[in-house]
Structure 1
């Protein structure tokens, strides 16, 4: 019995540790008005989640700026439409818009930005989307967030 216990302990000591959930993602945007991802899945064990946005294009923010915005899918169009009216000085988002769960800054080619948000802001069973709020981009630059 003692021999079996020692063997079991030896096997456990050499076992790989349990992998932790990945609580971050890198999203690339480009000069063709595209994100490289159409879906992001957030593990339920994450307390916080970080999105790193990287603009891999070359065009300036004024002509081909991108951001990453998270909102309920039902709010997406209204957030984007209202954001367009808020203008470039506000990153095409209404300041402190309660419908926006998280967002990065508006960035141009070669730039990057990150945002970290509390996952508890996502309710169980909610329908969430991410998108770029630059005018005209949200119609094609969007994806879903699963939780």
Structure 2
């Protein structure tokens, strides 16, 4: 009976978006001042998938002060953002099917939110990744690091 209760509890944890008590999701806030509320995201290695929800807490429309959340290798972030300018807002300032993009939300404006879920197994735990906003010019201020971390 105890084994059944433990198995049931573990199943509930996994279904609720946690891996052994660790959250497999985070929320990132973006403002009209071109800032994320965090510069670092730690993803538990025990997560199979991880979800980032981006919330725009500012008052400006996406055509004026839009934001997205894009994940790449550190050495590819600036090139992805630069190449994405020509793709335009309709394409979330990202080149279609860009293989350098690991995960990305759509561009959002005031009061909106968007989420993206990605497979943690595709990331290496021994290296950092870069997240940024690809809206033209925003990468200079909206840039952070994501890493996969083992349970402590």
TM-score (norm 2): 0.83
Indicate the SS of the match to 1:100.
coil
After superposition, the C-alpha distances for 1:85-121 in whole angstroms (9 at most, x for unaligned) are: 1111111001111000000010001000111110112
| Matched ranges for 1:90-109 at <5 A | 90-109=91-110
Q: Check the 8 A contact 2:125/2:147 in 1, yes or no.
A: no
Measure the CA separation in 2 of the matches of 1:96 and 1:74. Answer: 18
Q: Which runs of 5+ in 2 are unaligned?
A: 3-9, 14-19
Indicate the SS of the match to 2:41.
strand
Measure the CA separation in 1 of the matches of 2:128 and 2:115. Answer: 22
Larger Rg, first or second structure (1 or 2): 1
Match of 1:49 in 2: 50
After superposition, the C-alpha distances for 1:102-142 in whole angstroms (9 at most, x for unaligned) are: 00010001000111110112123223010000000011101
Q: Which runs of 5+ in 1 are unaligned?
A: 1-8, 10-16
Q: Check the 8 A contact 1:72/1:126 in 2, yes or no.
A: no
| Consecutive aligned runs of 4 or more in structure 1 exceeding 6 Å deviation | none
Match of 1:82 in 2: 83
Match of 1:39 in 2: 40
Q: Check the 8 A contact 2:45/2:125 in 1, yes or no.
A: no
Q: How many residues align?
A: 133
Match of 2:146 in 1: 145
Give the alignment's Cα RMSD to 1 decimal: 1.7
